[in-house]
Structure 1
Amino acid sequence: MCTADCIADSAGGITFDVTDAARPGATLVLRRRADAVGTHGGGDDEVRLPLTGPATASGAGPARLRAVLPSTVELAEGHWDIFTGTSGDRPVRPGIRDVRALIDRVPGTGPVAARVPYPTADGRLALRTWLRAPHAEAGTVRCAPAGMSVEGVLYGAELGEHARAEARLHGGDRTHRVAVTGRGGVFAFTLPYGPLAEEPGGPGGESRRWDLWLLPAPDTAGIRISRILDDIWDKRAIHVYPAHAVPAHGTDGRLAAPGYTHDNDFCVRLDPAPAPVPTP
């Protein structure tokens, strides 16, 4: 199996330096997983990049070839597995991943494209991509017992006079809106937990998730609030915010905590609060 070192640049391009790639006519193949089809963006689900080399002018060691994924090549949103070989059947192991340029990245004009190389659970190299137009990037999140305050930046659109943030119950039809402040691309809002913890129709013991959207103006479609402009491909275990107990009618209450989904979309999770321990 080949090994690839990756260098990401702030514009969205990625350079792959691959060892032990077969010659001649070596190719690096990026193939989007089938479960990602239908997400943001279109185009091909396979991209082939020529491997040329050597990546270094001289030196001992295994042969190294180089492939470059330019920022101008559009990749639809999803997970892309990486292979070599003319038929694209040789998986690639991750080597050194230099993704420092992705931290606090500021995108240019046009659709916001983010790409992060990462190691899969079975030790292979993959690429997580996002393609959003417009895009609402979550920034600072401040948690309090009664709710949270969120700051962020909007790309590809501007806030109107009556901008709102909307929490949408995942898998349900309930919503809750709050006012948004800001100007141009900067936005901020405070979302109380109480309305999200209410259980119409009786108590429920299951966990619930509320997805967060930005509505720049009353007559515009919602924009999913996410955090993709950095070097973290899955934030669920990285950006962990404090959970606070929230009273809920007919239940022992809820534990409310902001967080991110597996797609790095911002959300609030409401879990059943632990039952109080009886006093002896």
Structure 2
Amino acid sequence: MTTPRVGCAVDSEGRITFALAAGPGHELLLRLRPKKGQPEETLHVLDLDPVGEGRTQAVLGPDPVLAEGRWDVYLLDGSERTRLRPGPRDLRALIDGHLRERRGPLAVRVPYVTEDGYLAVRTWLRPAHAEVGRVDVSGGTLKITARLHGASLPDGAEVLLRPRQGEATVRSLRPLVAEDSRSFSFTVADETLDPGIWDLFVRPAPGAPMIRVARLLDDVADRKRVFVYPGATAGKIVVRPYYTVDNDLSLEVKQAG
């Protein structure tokens, strides 16, 4: 039996329209992929409406907001479910998503093809977000530009480098903030960072919650293997920026040579 395929199109408001050939009584199921060893808990079912010539469609509107994670897509026939292969995907509305102003909480959805060839939807849900723009590596310095969505940067804002493991001290950098109080940049040129992984955050004001620095607002669901940067050599260490599996920006620090 041929596995059915489902096409999808995304608009600028985040609405996703799914289209496939299906008979009466079928529904579309989105399943939040559970963590390894954990039970399945979160499902979202969409009605499939006929649109003529044996075709049906289901619309996932901006509401409800989906939990952050990866949602697998199935055709539901009563209690039977069939995981769906991807058809055409129209993601043009997402390409320039980083250019549009966003309010918090920020909800992002990107349909993508899994490594084993099925359709899934990657989602992010964050109170506020710092969207990475340029990442420039030059000699011993690393310069990163970003823009804040869902918050602003008054006086006292800081960028934080937090070690993922170990007991190294969190490092604080003073960002250069633009007149709009949202766009900012910062430079990493610290020769004393301990080897390991350092995660990047921005704190808008003293005592405010930390906001993860990431790149979410376009059509790339998994950046880690697509955007690969060289390292900046600072003294006896090499600092290489990279995107995590969640598209967050982090730094890998190693001994030079």
TM-score scaled by structure 2?
0.89
Give secondary structure in 1 for the equivalent of 2:64.
coil
Q: 1:66 to 1:255 in 2, by over 3 A?
A: same
Q: Counterpart of 1:245 in structure 2: which amino acid?
A: T
Give yes or no for the alignment of 1:178 onto 2:178.
no
Shift of 1:256: 1.9
Number of residue-to-residue matches in the alignment: 247
How do 1:15-34 and structure 2 match up within 5 A?
15-19=17-21, 21=22, 23-34=23-34
Is the 2:31–2:44 contact (alpha carbons within 8 Å) kept by the matching residues of 1? yes
Is the 1:225–1:266 contact (alpha carbons within 8 Å) kept by the matching residues of 2? yes
Select the structure of larger CA radius of gyration.
1
Shift of 1:114: 0.8
Give yes or no for the alignment of 1:260 onto 2:253.
no
Give yes or no for the alignment of 1:194 onto 2:185.
no
The percentage of counterpart residues that share the same residue type is 38
Shift of 1:132: 1.0
Supply the distance in 1 between the matched residues of 2:253 and 2:79 (Cα, whole angstroms): 47
Match of 1:75 in 2: 66
Structure 1: segments with no counterpart, 5+ residues: 39-43, 200-207, 249-253, 275-280
Shift of 1:195: 2.7
Shift of 1:269: 1.2
Give secondary structure in 2 for the equivalent of 1:109.
coil
Is the 1:258–1:266 contact (alpha carbons within 8 Å) kept by the matching residues of 2? yes
Is the 2:104–2:151 contact (alpha carbons within 8 Å) kept by the matching residues of 1? no
Match of 1:204 in 2: none
Give secondary structure in 1 for the equivalent of 2:166.
coil
Is the 1:170–1:209 contact (alpha carbons within 8 Å) kept by the matching residues of 2? yes
Shift of 1:11: 0.8
Supply the distance in 2 between the matched residues of 1:244 and 1:140 (Cα, whole angstroms): 15
Displacement over 4 Å in runs of 4+: none
Shift of 1:72: 2.0
Give yes or no for the alignment of 1:219 onto 2:211.
no
Deviation digits for residues 227-249 of structure 1 (CA, Å, limit 9, x no counterpart): 1000000101212222233333x
Is the 1:11–1:71 contact (alpha carbons within 8 Å) kept by the matching residues of 2? yes
Is the 2:69–2:123 contact (alpha carbons within 8 Å) kept by the matching residues of 1? yes
Supply the distance in 1 between the matched residues of 2:167 and 2:11 (Cα, whole angstroms): 41
Shift of 1:273: 4.1
Cα RMSD of the aligned pairs, angstroms, is 2.1
Supply the distance in 1 between the matched residues of 2:31 and 2:255 (Cα, whole angstroms): 40
Supply the distance in 2 between the matched residues of 1:224 and 1:173 (Cα, whole angstroms): 20
Shift of 1:88: 5.5
Deviation digits for residues 89-135 of structure 1 (CA, Å, limit 9, x no counterpart): 21000111111110121254331111111111111111100011111
Supply the distance in 2 between the matched residues of 1:107 and 1:69 (Cα, whole angstroms): 22
Shift of 1:193: 4.1
